[in-house]
Amino acid sequence: NAGVMQNPRHLVRRRGQEARLRCSPMKGHSHVYWYRQLPEEGLKFMVYLQKENIIDESGMPKERFSAEFPKEGPSILRIQQVVRGDSAAYFCASSPLNLGWANTGELFFGEGSRLTVL
Amino acid sequence: TQLLEQSPQFLSIQEGENLTVYCNSSSVFSSLQWYRQEPGEGPVLLVTVVTGGEVKKLKRLTFQFGDARKDSSLHITAAQPGDTGLYLCAGGPLISNFGNEKLTFGTGTRLTIIP
């Protein structure tokens, strides 16, 4: 299965610790999006990355949160000094680079990483 | 900021009944997608509509994009327990860069079909 892979699926952290969430996009996809989902809510956009480039981080908190998508390896969403309000499911999605696909915007989602902050 | 409101937020009906879920916004979108998400999993795309007034059918599911491209509806005929899940609409902005779009997701409708 060459789908979007996220790990860990579940992560428990105490307040003040760091959380690192990883995402490997589908094969051939060069665009990665991170979304956050709170219980019983929809998905909120956080950041959009291409390899070695942050395209749009308008949805990501300015403090404690950072994201990268290196030339080699998975995309990483890093949350420093976690607080209870960071508890959520974090979803990664990928899409191919294909101008002919513009305006259909299909995203392929991973199964999510569920962060619990104690 | 573009917002998509879905209604109802929760819906629980008996197997075999029909239902409609709505997705509304004051903003115009270039496209509108519907996803279904099951517990513990990521959303899975059901359909994309791109033209105002467009209607698409997927077996017992009928999707419509409003004429002004500000709203959409999902109608399910003869609902089955397998239709249970969180239904999310998502809109693509009018202006996109690099051929990709940042989707705005709706608030979600949690549907439960009772056998």
Instruction: Render each residue's pLDDT in chain A as its tens digit; 118 residues.
Output: 468 999 999 999 999 999 999 999 998 888 899 999 987 778 999 999 988 999 889 899 999 999 999 999 999 999 999 999 999 999 999 987 654 444 456 788 999 999 999 9
Identify the pLDDT of residue A104. 58
Residue of B35, B42, B48 lying closest to A104 (CB–CB): B48
Decide if B42 and A45 are in contact by the 8 Å CB cutoff. no
Closest-CA distance, B46 to chain A, in angstroms, reads 10
> Which of A21, A45, A107, A113 to probe the B interface (max B CBs under 10 A)?
A107
Q: Which chain A residues are within 8 Å of B98, Cβ to Cβ?
A: 31, 50, 55, 97
Nearest-CA neighbor of A57 among A34, A86, A88? A34
Residue B76, CA distances (Å) to B9, B32, B47, B57, B89 in order = 16, 17, 14, 10, 15
Identify the pLDDT of residue B94. 66
Secondary element (H or E) of residue B48: strand B44-49
Average pLDDT rounded to a whole number, residues B67-96: 90
